[in-house]
Amino acid sequence: MSIESLFDGQDMTGLAASIRRGDVSAREVVEFAVHRVEERNPAVNAVVADRAEEALAEVDAGLPDGPLRGIPFLIKDLHADVAGLPTSNGSRLFAGRVANADSELVSRYRQAGLVVIGKTNTPEFGQNASTEPVLFGPTRNPRRLTHSVGGSSGGAGAAVAVGIVPAAHASDGGGSIRIPASANGLVGLKPSRGRMPSGAPLSGPLSVEHAVTKSVRDTALLLDLTAGPAVGAPFGIAPPVRPYVDEVGADPGRLRIGITTTMPGGDPVHPDCAAVASDVGVMLEKLGHHVETAAPTFHPEALGAAMQYLMSAPMAVEIDQRLAELGRELRDDDLETMARVQYERCKSQSVTDLAAAYAALELTGREIGRYFTEYDLLLSPTLCRPTPELGVLDAMNLEAMWQHAGAYGALTSPFNSGGQPAISLPLGKDSIGLPLGAQLVAAHGREDLLIRVAAQLEAAYPWSAAPAWPVVEG
């Protein structure tokens, strides 16, 4: 079998098994991924920094004997350091800031045998549901180059979708794993609060790191290999009772599942998005589960205001620290318009404003947590609207952002408030053929239940893992 067939025809777990059997060498696989960057990245602009020579040298020197030995991997260019590469956070202010050491999660990836070949594009500070930074330019959806790949892990999603790597690192502070998973036809799990190490400053309440993958078993395996808070982390969580890969194929039993196809305030979602969730609800009933209309109750306006502040305040701290490193004041061309407005707003707010935002976050978390005392899972569309064209979510155009941005994360961000795990599965398409995800949410700490049901859906209604290549121009 050719290297191309092995690379494209399998998920990460299967490709790792091919390497272990000797069907293909780790060097051949990494070389092929490097070739894919050269061949396919110009069309989509997913990879913004590469380390091809260093990666091949690491293979030749001998890799750790982990379960994923020899699998090429990409790291999101946001708060995740790879020694020798810039960590730009998608911002011109941070361009050229080179990391001296790997972050904790990157170290865990390496210990698993993964080979880091570069970093992926992200919107400035991850503050957008589309990946269109001024610094690197937009990342384009390989299934339609005029459209977004979502955000903020948009470069990661595009890199997997176009066949550069079989899985890629991602992070999620309001939907940033699940939104690009939906836009690119991938699996995207946001783990529970406290489950993963994080390199982002002040990120504990909202942001969590993991990956976008082709399959549920890949998502489970990566979680097994990297989960566990870093030393001194502000949040902890009980470890799983058994490996997450053991949940793939395990019987979840008959579950009580609530379904919603409206936004938290009651407004309808786009019919294409509603149809995906409704179809998945029918699938779940066929699989033996009880499904009924029911959604968590909370105050979305209060949560939205709190999350906007709690996501931008850490950004403001980072900006001040960077300016101190550079020894200068903020310049007009340092930040995009949206980041500049958020920064200036944060500088004018008080400690009591911050405390009020945390209080609103905690209240919403408790309100949502009560829902999972009655229901095992919540089913919804991942997105309230289909994947937008590039330019709809333009961080240099505040009018466009205020008009459109809120809808794209309305069904993902609530579960960052309470820290519940949530997964987007590629179970539908919109009217022009772009992927749409269905989201499942479980109680805090119940990734095991999500993985069981996600694997059940994958087995009953399998999706294609074939790369989206050649790209579609328009």
Active site residues: 76, 152, 176
Helix axes 337-348, 398-408, angle to 10 degrees: 80
Cβ burial of 101 (10 Å; 0-12, 13-18, 19+) is exposed
Helix axes 447-460, 271-286, angle to 10 degrees: 90
> CA-to-CA distance for 327 and 324, rounded, in angstroms?
5
HEC readout, 317-344: HHHHHHHHHHCCCCCCCCCCHHHHHHHH
- Report whether 96 contacts 188 (CB < 8 A): no
> CA-to-CA distance for 72 and 438, rounded, in angstroms?
28
| CA angle, 350 then 133 then 222, to 5° | 90
> CA-to-CA distance for 323 and 327, rounded, in angstroms?
6
Token pair, residue 199, equals: 């390199």
> CA-to-CA distance for 163 and 468, rounded, in angstroms?
7
Task: Residue 446: name the closest of 423, 425, 421 by CA.
Answer: 421
Task: Residue 409: name the closest of 428, 388, 434, 431 by CA.
Answer: 388
Q: Alpha carbon of 145 to those of 13, 142, 184, 241, 406: distances in Å?
A: 29, 6, 12, 43, 23
- Report whether 219 contacts 232 (CB < 8 A): no
Residues forming beta bridges with residue 436, ordered by sequence position: 428
> What size, in residues, is the chain?
474
Kindly report the number of other CB atoms within 10 A of residue 43's CB atom: 16
> CA-to-CA distance for 338 and 401, rounded, in angstroms?
8
The helix, strand and coil proportions of the chain, stated in percent and rounded to the nearest 5, come to 40, 15, 45
H-only helix segments in 22-51? 26-44
Give counts: helices (H), strands (E), the chain: 15, 11
